[in-house]
Chain A
Amino acid sequence: MIGMRMKALDLKLIRDIWRIKGQALAISLVQASGIALLVMSLGMIASLTETMTAYYDRYRFADIFAAATRAPELALEELRSIEGVSAVEGRVVGGGLVDIEGVDAPITAQFVSRSADATAPLNDVHIVRGRAPDPVRGDEILLLEAFADAHGLEPGDSLPVTVYGARRVFRIAGVALSPEYVYAIAPGALAVDDDRFAVIWASYDTLAPAFNLDGAFNEAVFRLARGVDAARVIPEIDRILAPYGGRGAYDNGDQVSNRFLSEELRQLTAMAFIMTPIFMSVTIFLLNVVISRMVQTEREQIGLLKSFGYTGGEIGAHYAKFALFIAIVGAAIGWLGGLYLGRVMTGIYQEYYRFPFLLFETDLRTIIYAAGLSVLGAGFGAITAVRAAVALLPAEAMRPPAPEFFRNAKGATKGFSLPLDRPTRMILRRIARRPFRSLALVFGIAAAMGLSVMMQFNHAAINHILHASFRVIDRSDMTVRFTEAIDEAAALELSKLDGVTHVEPFRDAAVIFVNGGKEHLGSITGVTSAPTLNRVLDDELRPAPVPESGLLLSAPLAQLLSADVGDEIEVRFREGRRPTISIEIVGLIDVMIGTPAYMSIEDLNARLMEPGRVSGAYLSVAPDARAALQRRTKEIPQLAAISVREEVLTNFEQMLSEGPGVFRVIMTFFATVIAVGVVYNGARITFAERRHDLASLRILGFTKAEAGYVVTGEIVTLAIAALPIGAVIGVLLWTYISTALSTELYQVPTVYDPAGLGVAGCTVVFAALVASFLIQKDVDKLDMASALKARD
């Protein structure tokens, strides 16, 4: 034994906790769930953000991108001299096709030039395997790792490509990653498709002549000095590049990869900062309820201690320690669990984003706040319960609760003169006698169920988005895009290809929307007047009529621009002759994915003074002809990209299930743990409170099952009562959250899936049944004599 002996009260504390270790563990796990979720999500977000920032810093991700048609190298000098610019590079970028044996569809490639002699190049690459291309050998290139892995390409392999119409064979010197292509999405695509989009870095000397840009560049990338606002520098850049066909510079917030990455992080942050507080609140509430009930079962012991002369403060401290112990254990488990899960999640994201390294960060302050809150919650629950018990006179406290005072209060119990057997009446009277206590437990179960409901609705919402986007809005079989906007005869030609049964052309125009001080980089889609293959639908999936003249804007886009129906906004086109036109907004629609803007294709073409142009088409293709058609399209020079709806759907599903999907699965798991924990605790507490009654019943001659029914019946009744309340709580939570979770990339629809209620309800009912089963076993083991005598 340690020299200094522990005080008896503390010994009691330790042994009591050990005695109820199952229950204590269940409560701790409930709390740990909330904290683990918080730690995990905050850690994950902090890690990803830190990694992303460090990645961008170490590899000098550009701050501003500016495209031009053809700018001479001399222009770089002028650009360099802009105030605020700390570095600028000119490079050649362009599209092309990659020819992979065995792949039927055209594979888009993005070529990016690198100058071999730059010591600290912007948008630097990280070479994963192989080596940098030898500047002497003009056919050596670096290939994006994701693409190389998808096709099993290694350094040393050759890669036949088509650049600007000419066929060439390159040699892969190395496989690389770049901060510019964390998300490698082909232009116009919705999701990452590793095996259909390649990024190829080649030397300037190889690419410039290939794209007819000798001594010139068509994209300038900039790094700004610290604290410099991009908005000040961009107009200068535009001015300098205007004579060279400058298409409007933009900051890296609009760069595709960064934008997707930022949006996803934003959504994770939203999920974390919105959902975890909800989880935490529920767990704190539950802690409060559960611990307060547990302390209430100690009523007689409290009275006894008081009769010995222990002050209210001393007794309160004892039970506070009890609550604190459980809470701290829960917090510790939660913290460790959260750290571990955070690492696992970050690892999953890393595989998906392909960062070259990973930094782990923990947001200590928030976690300490959270742990502190939950500990306080537990302590508060204990203290309030103790105060209630301590306020009683010891004699009252020690008085056995049966027979409790049952009055025919206001006819409340009159209803129970129904033909019910006595044990059932006992259950119902007990519930009615202490309505608040029962209500608290019901509410606790309902809150936990609400969490499950919320997660189920979330899952259903994601499915709804996918279903709506790929089965209702997009009904095409394939979408093709041309290399540039060409005559509509091309669309007609497509209809003559074998297997194509219907063609619906469209025209996309890359634009910058400007309304007052607000700007947004986006695109306008010109559609035919009554589209069937890819329709313009609102968020209730009703067809929205495309106006003959004017813009039909999606509500999220209108919000970004602070514009409304009737406003005329400035549209700066970034292609063709790059005119700036004022167009009136004639309608708004709510959409689910993205921030689209629609016009009639005739109107769009007319305003651009380019009648009869199309930039792509939606096709419906006979099922047996699809493969042959894909092969055929490889040979059509004007086709830049084709996407098959089924494949895009699969990619999108995969994208949503990785990363955010795993996060959701973990949250659903925690919601289940919480629900089960609450039900189990409620059952145990009820059992503890009723031990005396149970013993009496058994002595009277009731069988084990019948005696057990008194407790299990109460639990099951409360659980069933919790079902509709849990459903309502879940619906309310989801209504609030679905709006908060929406990002620029997709709006989370506020749809309620009844099956989700069922699943969550099953969890609760299942938990209640399991708890009843366990409690029944304890009833069986009940030592009647000691239960009658002993007061705990």
Chain B
Amino acid sequence: MPRSRVVTFAILAALVGVFFLYAFWPRPMLVDIGEITQGHMMVTIDEEAKARVRDVYVVSTPAAGRLLRVDVDPGDLVEEGRSVVARMLPTNPSVLDVRTEEQASAAVAAAEAALELAEAEAARADADLALARTRRDRFASLVEEEAASQAALDQADRDLRAAAAAARSARASIGMRDADLRSARAMLMDFAAADGDAPAAGAQPTEAISIRAPVSGVVLKVVNESEVTLPAGAEIMRLGNPTADLEIVAELLSPEAVRVSPGDAVLVERWGGAGALDGVVERVEPWAFTKVSALGVEEQRANVIVRLDCEQAEHAGLGHGYRVHVRIVVWEKDDAVIAPANALFRQGDDWAAFVVEDGKARARIVKVGRGNGRETEIVEGLAPGDEIVLYPSDAVSDGSSVRRRG
């Protein structure tokens, strides 16, 4: 074949070759590329939590009585010992009906009658005592004249002593009946007072008892606001100090609670204000309880109490029962070598990642430490600044040409 034809063939083949090279040249795959960084990384346990005032004071009725309408509202500031938070009337004229009034009148009449009877009894007892004395004195003079027996004198002594006792008893009975009468009269007097009459003479005027705040803080919740008759010990309101006395309670799943220790740092987020609040785990309660989760599953949970570790002014506005989100730091490191978790994949028993070197992906085995779902600590195999392929698909393999997407 003449040389010119060889040249022609070569040129044609070259042209065809160029076409097919262009067509089939493996183009770099588009991938997302991330970087290994070094810095702060932490593993946290996240949970929904609630803020609560540590010490909630319950203001309750000191005695049975009528609670007057409560004027304070939740949120009002109160001062210990000075702010009056509630007032009550100690008695209880709550049932103001005719039958009771009649009964009270009858009780007075009965008491009066009983007193009269007691006085009559006392008069009789006195008379019996005078007679008994006279008899004893006569018998005593008779014994001296040996006109009567010693036995008769003893009898007369005994009679005298009996009569004296009866007289004392009668006297006591009068006192008792007198007290009854006074009491009955007092009850009747209250009716009169309730009816708007002038208090009966001898009756005591009733005054409202002021109940003062036992502690400085704010009113958290008013349980009984309206005027109502309450027994003793009934709850009126709750007080507390959310600014100074706030803590966070999180209900952790028991396996998570195991991993938390007092002293762990906590980030309190989504509390409604700017930024995250700092907190510290104060204690982990050892008692777990059953609770149905939002997903409808029954789980064992334990309370973890978090103390807020910041200035009071920083968490102003956070109240009792407010919902927050806590992240309890169970592990952190300041100079961890961090890889995005999605870049790592399993290769046999090891973890690996694709490092981008000169436009090619190279598989590299790595040793990993802790991971928090988004970031994974790299112990060995990658260095800060290395570029790695994120979310490597099956199409990426060792030696593939890759290019940054976008």
Contact = CB atoms under 8 A, between A and B. Distances in A.
Q: Do chains A and B touch in the complex (CB under 8 A)?
A: yes
A761 B20 contact: yes
A542 B406 contact: yes
Interface stretch (B59-67, B289-297, B330-338): B289-297
A493 interface: yes
Interface string A272-290: 0000000000000000000
A421 B5 CA distance: 6
Contact of B342 (A475, A494, A639, A727): A475
B287 interface: no
Contacts of B5: 420-421, 423-424, 709
Interface string B324-353: 000000000000000001100110000000
A346 B24 CA distance: 36
B8 interface: yes
Interface string A721-761: 00110010000000000000000000000000011111101
Contacts of B387: none
Contact of B405 (A423, A541, A758): A541
Scoring B12, B253, B373 by chain A CB atoms within 10 A of each residue's CB, the highest score goes to B373
Contacts of A723: 16, 19
Contacts of A492: 46-48
A489 B19 contact: no
Nearest to B346: A623
Given A420-B8, A421-B2, A493-B294, A720 B24 contact: no
Nearest to B24: A758
Nearest to B252: A496
A420 B4 CA distance: 5
B388 to A, nearest CB: 15
A637 B296 contact: yes
A501 interface: yes
Contact of A639 (B25, B295, B391): B295
Contact of A487 (B47, B294, B345, B405): B294
Interface in B25-69: 25, 27, 30, 46-48
Nearest to B48: A489
B295 A501 contact: no
Contacts of B293: 489-490, 493
Interface in A241-257: none
Contacts of A720: 12, 15-16, 19
B214 interface: no
A433 B400 CA distance: 49
Contacts of A541: 30, 405-406
A717 B256 contact: no
Contacts of A759: 23
Contacts of A727: 19
A117 B48 CA distance: 53
A765 B16 contact: yes
B374 interface: yes
A754 B12 contact: no
A interface SS class? helix
B94 interface: no
A278 B282 CA distance: 77
Interface in A476-497: 486-487, 489-490, 492-496
Contacts of A493: 293-295, 297
B373 A495 contact: yes
B374 A502 contact: yes
A424 to B, nearest CB: 5
Nearest to A494: B295
A424 B4 contact: yes
Given A724-B19, A754-B23, A754-B27, A424 B341 contact: no
B393 interface: yes
A461 to B, nearest CB: 16
Given A421-B4, A755-B23, A638 B16 contact: no
Nearest to A760: B23
A639 B293 CA distance: 13
Contact of A502 (B7, B30, B294, B373): B373
A491 to B, nearest CB: 9
A615 interface: no
Contacts of B374: 502
B24 A754 contact: yes
A637 B20 contact: no
Contacts of A423: 5
B12 A471 contact: no
Interface string B387-399: 0000101010000
A709 B25 CA distance: 31
Scoring B2, B7, B253, B296 by chain A CB atoms within 10 A of each residue's CB, the highest score goes to B296
Nearest to B392: A471
Scoring A471, A623, A727, A759 by chain B CB atoms within 10 A of each residue's CB, the highest score goes to A471
Interface string B283-319: 0000000000111110000000000000000000000
Contact of B23 (A421, A486, A636, A757): A757
Nearest to A709: B5
A635 B295 CA distance: 10
A501 B371 contact: yes
Given A421-B4, A475-B342, A754 B393 contact: no
Contacts of A475: 342, 391
Given A419-B4, A420-B8, A495-B46, A638 B346 contact: no
Given A420-B4, A495-B46, A496-B256, A490 B294 contact: yes
Contacts of A709: 5
A615 to B, nearest CB: 13
Interface of A: 419-421, 423-424, 471-472, 475, 486-487, 489-490, 492-496, 501-502, 532, 541-542, 620, 623-624, 635-639, 709, 716-717, 720, 723-724, 727, 754-759, 761-762, 765
Given A620-B341, A754-B25, A757-B22, 7 more contacts: A471-B393, A493-B294, A494-B295, A496-B253, A639-B295, A723-B19, A754-B22
7 contacts: A423-B5, A472-B405, A475-B342, A489-B293, A492-B48, A754-B23, A757-B19
Which 9 A-B pairs have CB atoms at the shortest separation, nearest pair first? A758-B23, A637-B296, A490-B294, A501-B373, A489-B294, A421-B2, A502-B373, A757-B23, A758-B24
